[in-house]
Amino acid sequence: MCGIVGYIGKEQAAPILLDGLDKLEYRGYDSAGIAVFDGETIQLAKARGRLKVLREMTHGGEMLPGTCGIGHTRWATHGIPSDTNAHPHFNGTESIAVVHNGIIENYLKIKKQLQEKGYEFVSETDTEVVAHLLDYYYKGNPLEAITRMMHRVEGSYALGIMFKEHPGKLYAVRKDSPLIVGRAQGGSLIASDVPAVLKYTRNVYFIQNEEIVCLEEDRLNFFNVDSDPIEKEPVTIQWDVSAAEKAGYEHFMLKEIYEQPKAVLDTLNPRIRDGKIEIEELGMTDEEIRSIRKIFIVACGSAYHTGVTAKYVFEGLARIPVEVDLASEFRYRNPILDEETMLIVVSQSGETADTLAALREAKMRGVRTLGIVNVVGSSIAREADNVMYTWAGPEIAVATTKAYSTQLIAEYLLAMKFAQVRGTVSQEEIDEMICDLKELPVHISMLLDHKEKLQRFANRYVAAKDIFFIGRGIDYAISLEGSLKLKEISYIHSEAYAAGELKHGTISLIEEGTLVAAVLTQEDLYKKMLSNVVEVKTRGAFLLAVTNAGNTEVEKAADYVIYIPKTNKYFTNSLAVIPLQLFGYYVALGKGCDVDKPRNLAKSVTVE
C-alpha cells in the first residue's frame, strides 16, 4: 500500500525522498510524487507509473531544490492511477502540501461541505479533502489545524504535511496506518517503514495512533490529539541496510527464499532451551493454558494458510478445537467468543487492516489475544496482549516466503507447548519433535540445492492457462500456499483443492496437458491421494508430485516427482513449500513478470 517519506535538514531533500521511496517500492504502487519546499515555494512533481518516471522527470530530484520535502508512492483506492490523483496534494493556494497513506472514509461528506464553502477539487482522491480541510482550519497555527482536522476525519491515515508559512518545520500524524520518525545527523525523517530511513539512522520512533510529530532539522516534538506535548523513546533497529538489499540475488524473492534456513533457525532457537519449549512471550501460566477450550487463528493471505496448517497441528497434538478465519470475514460473522477462547492473529507486516480489526474486535470482547508478527513495533505487535515475533528479518518481496516459513515454526512451537502442558503428548514425543524441528533448516537447504531442476521444469509451464494444486489434510494447506504463490506473481490462474473434493466439480476443468501439482506427504493419506492422482492422470493431467523420500509408488502415475526429506508428519509443510515457492518464482521469471512487485498487489495491506 502507499508509502510516505519526508525529510527536513541540511541536505537537498529530493534525492533523499527518491531514495526513501525506492526502499518503499516493495509496498506496491502505481504512481509516485514528491513536493519540495525551498523556503519560498513548494514545488511538486508527480507521475503515474514507476519511480523511474519521476526520477527522469526531475533529473534525479535536481529540478526541485530545497531542504524540506515529502514524497509518496500511491496504490490507488479512490480514483484511477493517474498523474492528477498521484500525491502530494495541495490546498487551493498551494501553501499546504499533503501525502497520505490510508483511507478517509467520510471524505465525500466533507468534500461536499467544503465545495459548498467554495473549495475546488482537482483530483478524485480522498486525500485532497485533507489538504483543503487543513486550509479551512488553518489560522496561523499548524498544530491547531491538524488536531481539528483529526477530529473531523474518519478512517485511517499516516500524513506528511508542509505549511508554506512555516519553513523549517515538517508535520506528520497517524491513525491506523504505519508511520515512523527518525533523527539523523543533520536532519529528521518520516517514513512508512524502517528501510526508507535506515541509510541515515537506526534510531526511530514508532508513532502511535493519534500522535502528531513536528520535525525540525535538529529536533522532534511530539504531541497528542489535544496538542499536549508528549515524550517518546526511540527504538534502535538491530538489522542493517544489507538485510533490506538484494545481496547479488536477481530478486528479493529469491534472496528471501534462500534466507529460510536461517530465518527458521532464528525463530526456533530462542524458544528451545535445554530440550524444552520455552515461549516466555506467551505470557500464560500452565493453568491458563489448560483453561483454553478453543482457539481462533485469524489472518489474511499466506498468513491465513499457515493458520490452516496450524489447525491440524494444534488439534492433532494439543486436542484443542481450532477455527481458522480469514480476517476480513471474522469480524463480520459475530463469532462466538468467551473467556475460554484464545485468538491468535498472524501477520508478517503487523499492519494488515483486516487482521488488526479482527484483533481489536476480539480484545473488545474480552478475549485473550496473541500476535505472531514479524515487524517489530508494528500495530498488531503493540496491540495484542502478547506478541511472539517471527525472526525472519525484513521481507521486501510482495510474495511472502521466509515470513510464511517462520510463522509455521511459531505455530508448531505453540501447539507443542500447549500439548506438553495439557499432557496430550508424551515428553518422548516432544523430544523427537524438537529433533525434527532442529533438522528443518538443513533439509530446507538441501531442497534449495535442486533449484536448477525446478527452473527447467517451471520453464515448460510459462504458457500454462490453469494449474491445480491438490492435497489432503496438511497437504491441502500447503496446496493453498503453492497455488497463491504461483498465481500472485505469474498471473497464471491456479486453484488449490482438497484432493477428495476435486471430483465434485472441478475435475471437469482437467484436460489433456493441464498441470496438476499433487502434494502427498501424509503417510496415512498416501493411498487415498494416489487414487486422486490417478483420477486426474486418467483425464489427461500432467502430474507434478511432491512427496516424502521413499514414496516411489507415485512415479507410476506422476510425470515429475520431487522428494522431500522425512520429517514429523506435522512439519512437512515446511519442506514441501520450498519446491512450490521455487516453482512459482521460476514460472514468473520465465514469463518476464515483475516478480518482487506483482501488479495490483501491495506488501502491506493497510486498507480493509
Interacting residue ranges for ligand M6R, rule: CB under 6 A? 300-303, 347-349, 352, 355, 398-400, 484, 488, 601, 604-605
Name residue 488's amino acid: E
Q: How many CA atoms lie within 13 A of 440 on its CB side?
A: 32
Helix (H) or strand (E) holding 261: helix 260-268
Question: Nearer to ligand M6R by C-beta: 192 or 348?
Answer: 348
CB of 311 vs ligand M6R, minimal distance in Å: 17
Which residues form the catalytic set? 2, 603
Kindly report the number of other CB atoms within 10 A of residue 48's CB atom. 19
Are 327 and 358 spatial neighbours (Cβ–Cβ below 8 Å)? yes
The rounded distance, in Å, linking the Cα atoms of 78 and 61 is: 27
Question: Nearer to ligand M6R by C-beta: 349 or 572?
Answer: 349
Question: Nearer to ligand M6R by C-beta: 302 or 551?
Answer: 302
How many angstroms separate the Cα of 452 from the Cα of each of 190, 458, 462, 583?
42, 10, 16, 10
CB of 608 vs ligand M6R, minimal distance in Å: 12
- Beta-carbon contacts of residue 217 (< 8 Å; ≥ 6 apart): 8, 9, 10, 67, 168, 186, 187, 188
Query: What is the DSSP code (8-state) at residue 4?
Result: E
Question: Nearer to ligand M6R by C-beta: 37 or 412?
Answer: 412
| Dihedral over Cα of 439, 498, 414, 268: its sign | positive
The rounded distance, in Å, linking the Cα atoms of 312 and 524 is: 14
Are 43 and 17 spatial neighbours (Cβ–Cβ below 8 Å)? no
Residue nearest to ligand M6R (CB): 301
Quick one: 385 exposed, middle or buried, by C-beta within 10 A (0-12, 13-18, 19+)? middle
The rounded distance, in Å, linking the Cα atoms of 385 and 350 is: 14
CB of 79 vs ligand M6R, minimal distance in Å: 23
Are 542 and 517 spatial neighbours (Cβ–Cβ below 8 Å)? no
**SS3 state of residue 320:** coil
Closest of 379, 306, 377 to residue 344, by C-alpha: 306
CB of 190 vs ligand M6R, minimal distance in Å: 21
Are 292 and 331 spatial neighbours (Cβ–Cβ below 8 Å)? no
Kindly report the number of other CB atoms within 10 A of residue 285's CB atom. 10
Question: Nearer to ligand M6R by C-beta: 115 or 600?
Answer: 600
CB of 296 vs ligand M6R, minimal distance in Å: 16
Residue tagged 518476464 (cell numbers): 592
Question: Nearer to ligand M6R by C-beta: 66 or 598?
Answer: 598
DSSP H helical ranges for 44-126:
51-57, 107-116
Query: What is the DSSP code (8-state) at residue 264?
Result: H
CB of 193 vs ligand M6R, minimal distance in Å: 12
Which three three-digit cell numbers place residue 312?
491440524
Angle at 120 between CA 116 and CA 125, to 5 degrees: 105
CB of 348 vs ligand M6R, minimal distance in Å: 3
- Beta-carbon contacts of residue 35 (< 8 Å; ≥ 6 apart): 42, 43, 44, 45, 69, 70, 71, 88, 97, 99, 162
The rounded distance, in Å, linking the Cα atoms of 352 and 313 is: 25
523 backbone dihedrals φ, ψ, rounded to 5°? -55, -40
Question: Nearer to ligand M6R by C-beta: 179 or 554?
Answer: 179
Question: Nearer to ligand M6R by C-beta: 378 or 420?
Answer: 378
CB of 371 vs ligand M6R, minimal distance in Å: 10
CB of 409 vs ligand M6R, minimal distance in Å: 15
The rounded distance, in Å, linking the Cα atoms of 516 and 536 is: 8
Question: Nearer to ligand M6R by C-beta: 401 or 532?
Answer: 401
Strand order in the sheet with 515-520: 493-498, 466-471, 515-520, 542-548, 560-564
Question: Nearer to ligand M6R by C-beta: 547 or 604?
Answer: 604
Question: Nearer to ligand M6R by C-beta: 97 or 403?
Answer: 403
CB of 338 vs ligand M6R, minimal distance in Å: 26
CB of 241 vs ligand M6R, minimal distance in Å: 22
